[in-house]
């Protein structure tokens, strides 16, 4: 087993994302069944990978209780039919759970301890709203370590508007509208559907159906409609439902491999890991977290922001993405940024979202041999950011008009 192996993103799939709550399509579906369905779909798409060769399974969830508890990586591996010899574990880094699943297992592959691994995340926000059942230590408030509303993500988004007044509500509204339009255009072109694993669902009357598309899309969104929305996090505020990711249920999963294993099994990796980094910021303005994590990841890779040809940034809130773009001097509507839209339209099932970013970046890489490097980045509750830089194996060095 080679030490210091290259790490490859071989493949990734996800369930369609559903609206959280009683009216959402997954209300009668268990969280663990969502991740199991995604894992089965992943293995079916990669028949050349023997199940017994998987060295570990890491599955993230933010609220690890009920049907999202019980050491998810291990329980999901058993339920998905992997051999009992395959171990697994659970991860929690709130919104960056799946991203951390990938980077954690990538580290094990990179130092030669693992050959193949499965990394992903699931969040059933209908069954498990953010923070439910949590008992924050009273020292957070008594010692003023964290603001009382630091876990109200909408309030943290309003604070970014406060800090950067030139990032106006109108700019955020336009970003939110374009996200909806770009996702629908990607759907119309058949770009997103190939990586979705259909899920059998049951409605309130017991009738069965099939979830095949993301449920929360609003392609009819207009600037006029967004301007009229309420600002639920602050009177006369700037953050609305139209510039926020909706509460969402869904699961994502990926297959990672070291260089020797990929060659041995004849796998065709979709991306190569270049660098990753996580960083901490004040919890009250958690949305700026990807700025320092991206700076760290770029430094580790010996790259600059100008080397990044595609950005997949998690749209927890429009203002959060705008603050990163503004910091690095990237235009709001730069075509490199979220070309197929993002979480404002498809949803943000917390711990699952990191791998959704990777799935979309990988699909875009194949169609963009002129692009060498891409970035997946996201903000994280309690004041963190996560960033992963990837290299395109299809890069041919030719610039295109």
Known catalytic residues are 95, 348, 379
CA distance 120 to 130: 18
Is 257 within 8 Å of 109 (Cβ atoms)? yes
Task: Find the angle CA(92)-CA(272)-CA(280) to the nearest 5 degrees.
Answer: 35
Structure tokens at 145: 């370590």
Structure tokens at 380: 């994280």
HSE (CB half, 13 Å, CA atoms) of 325?
Answer: 25
Residue (of 236, 95, 94, 246) closest to 161 by Cα position: 236
Structure tokens at 308: 């990044």
CA distance 250 to 215: 11
Structure tokens at 62: 């933010």
- List of residues 6+ apart from 52 with CB closer than 8 A: 83, 85, 86
Structure tokens at 370: 């002129």
**CB neighbours of residue 356 within 10 Å:** 31
Structure tokens at 13: 């799939």
Structure tokens at 80: 């998905």
CA distance 353 to 25: 18
CA distance 401 to 392: 19
């Amino acid at each position: 087993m080679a030490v210091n192996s290259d790490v490859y993103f071989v493949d990734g799939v996800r369930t369609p994302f559903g609206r959280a709550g009683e009216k959402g399509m997954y209300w009668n579906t268990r969280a663990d069944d969502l991740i199991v369905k995604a894992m089965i779909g992943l293995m079916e798409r990669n028949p050349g990978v023997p199940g017994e060769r998987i060295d570990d399974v890491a599955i993230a969830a933010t609220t690890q209780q009920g049907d999202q508890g019980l050491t998810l990586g291990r329980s999901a591996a058993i339920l998905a039919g992997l051999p009992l010899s395959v171990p697994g574990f659970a991860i929690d880094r709130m919104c960056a759970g799946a991203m951390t699943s990938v980077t954690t297992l990538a580290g094990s592959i990179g130092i030669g301890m693992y050959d193949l691994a499965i990394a992903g995340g699931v969040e059933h926000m209908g069954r498990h709203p953010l923070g439910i059942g949590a008992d924050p230590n009273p020292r957070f408030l008594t010692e003023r370590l964290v603001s009382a509303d630091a876990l109200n993500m909408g309030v943290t988004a309003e604070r970014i508007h406060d800090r950067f007044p030139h990032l106006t509500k109108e700019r955020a509204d336009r970003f939110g509208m374009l996200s909806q339009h770009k996702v629908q255009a990607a759907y119309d072109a058949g770009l997103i559907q190939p990586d979705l694993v259909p899920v059998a669902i049951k409605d309130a009357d017991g009738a069965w159906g099939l979830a095949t598309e993301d449920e929360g899309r609003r392609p009819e969104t207009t600037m006029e409609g967004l301007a009229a929305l309420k600002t639920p996090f602050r009177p006369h505020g700037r953050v609305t439902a139209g510039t926020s990711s909706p509460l969402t249920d869904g699961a994502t999963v990926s297959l990672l491999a070291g260089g020797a294993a990929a060659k041995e099994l004849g796998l065709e990796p979709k991306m190569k890991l270049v660098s990753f980094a996580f960083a901490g910021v004040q919890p009250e303005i958690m949305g700026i977290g990807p700025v320092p994590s991206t700076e760290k990841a770029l430094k580790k890779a010996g790259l600059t922001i100008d080397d990044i040809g595609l950005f997949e940034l998690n749209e927890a809130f429009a203002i959060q993405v705008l603050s990163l773009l503004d910091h690095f001097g990237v235009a709001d509507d730069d075509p490199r940024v979220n070309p197929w839209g993002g979480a404002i339209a498809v949803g943000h099932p917390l711990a699952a979202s990191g791998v959704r970013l990777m799935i979309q970046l990988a699909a875009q890489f194949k169609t963009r041999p002129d692009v060498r490097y891409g970035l997946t980045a996201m903000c994280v509750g309690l004041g963190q950011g996560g960033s992963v830089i990837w290299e395109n194996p299809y890069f041919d060095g030719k610039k295109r008009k």
